[in-house]
């Protein structure tokens, strides 16, 4: 038996070349404001591309508002050429990936996470009042999302709920093996995309602030 340090040849993943006309980045939390901004970017970029050309929505998000996420999901139905690539997709961002009609794309280093929905800020009268009726409505929305996620992943709702109860993390090739995505791809950014800048809102213990970042989704540091 011979030991060697030579690397084992592997089949390359399909490379996607991102440029300024075919890329929209979704960085940060899913909120009403961030979704509105992304919707406008998608519409603007889609008009610059031929219908046969894909528009890549690259998501790097910890999740956020279910309402805002559902609005983005409905919006994307009108743009069949949009393909979602998830770098980090947790919570509602994970649900967006499961809802797209096209292939679900990830990187070899991607991380996804699904968990139980959380609720805050609800109010109203108790004892058969608005509080109960609002809670019923919210549970229906969450259940619909859970059913959609479970169906796309290919497992029963019961099994899905059991897996997400304490957060369901999947990384790398496990994302494909567990059917949270369809294909691993590689990303290459053109020089023009790397050198282009966009504003990104980041949150910290000291509040939210806007910073400048590269439009290449592989470069996340502040410029």
- Average pLDDT value for residue range 24-28: 96
Rounded to an integer, what distance in angstroms lies between the CA atom of residue 13 and that of residue 196? 26
Q: What is the pLDDT of residue 5?
A: 47
**pLDDT top residue among 221 and 164:** 164
Predicted confidence (pLDDT) at residue 7 exceeds the cutoff of 50: no
Q: Is residue 176 part of a domain?
A: yes
Q: Is residue 7 part of a domain?
A: no
Q: Which of 10-14, 17-21, 181-185 has the lowest mean pLDDT?
A: 10-14
Domain interval for residue 106: 14-118+164-214
Q: Is residue 140 part of a domain?
A: no
Find the CATH number of the domain harbouring 97: 3.90.226.10
Please say whether the beta carbons of 55 and 24 come within 8 A: yes
The pTM of the whole model exceeds 0.75: yes
Confidence of residue 137 (pLDDT cuts 50, 70, 90): confident
Rounded to an integer, what distance in angstroms lies between the CA atom of residue 93 and that of residue 114? 9
Q: Is residue 9 part of a domain?
A: no
The three-point CA angle 85-186-70 to 5° equals 5
Q: Is residue 131 part of a domain?
A: no
Predicted confidence (pLDDT) at residue 118 exceeds the cutoff of 60: yes
Cα-to-chain-centroid distance, residue 200: 16
Predicted confidence (pLDDT) at residue 196 exceeds the cutoff of 60: yes
Q: Is residue 138 part of a domain?
A: no
Tally of domains within the chain? 1
Q: Is residue 58 part of a domain?
A: yes
Q: Is residue 95 part of a domain?
A: yes
Q: What's the 3-state SS for the chain?
A: CCCCCCCCCCCCCEEEEECCCCEEEEECCECHHHHHHHHHHHHHHHCCCCCCCCEEEEEEECCECHHHHHHHHHHHCCCCCEEEEEEEEECHHHHHHHHCCCCEEEEEEEEEEECCCCCCCCCCCCCCCHHHHHHHHHHHHHHHHHHHHHHHHCCCHHHHHHHHCCCEEEECHHHHHCCCCCEEEEEEECHHHHHCEEEEEEEECCEEEEEEEECCCCCCCCC
């Amino acid at each position: 038996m011979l030991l060697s340090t030579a690397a084992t040849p592997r089949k390359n993943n399909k490379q996607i070349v991102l440029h300024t006309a075919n890329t929209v980045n979704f960085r940060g939390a899913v909120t009403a404001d961030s979704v509105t901004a992304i919707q406008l970017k998608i519409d603007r970029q889609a008009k610059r591309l031929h219908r046969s050309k894909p528009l890549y929505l690259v998501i790097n998000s910890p999740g956020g508002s279910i309402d805002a996420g559902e609005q983005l999901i409905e919006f994307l139905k009108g743009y069949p050429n949009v393909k979602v690539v998830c770098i980090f997709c947790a919570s509602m961002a994970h649900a967006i990936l499961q809802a797209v009609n096209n292939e679900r794309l990830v990187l070899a280093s991607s991380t996804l996470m699904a968990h139980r929905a959380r609720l805050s800020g609800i109010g109203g009268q108790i004892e058969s009042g608005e509080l109960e009726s609002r809670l019923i409505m919210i549970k229906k929305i969450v259940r619909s999302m859970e059913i959609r996620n479970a169906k796309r992943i290919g497992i029963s709702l019961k099994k899905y709920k059991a897996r997400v109860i304490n957060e369901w993390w999947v990384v790398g090739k496990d994302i494909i093996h567990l059917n949270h995505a369809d294909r691993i791809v590689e990303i290459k950014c053109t020089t023009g995309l790397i050198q282009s800048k966009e504003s990104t809102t980041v949150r910290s213990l000291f509040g939210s602030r806007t910073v400048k970042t590269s439009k290449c989704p592989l470069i996340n540091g502040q410029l």
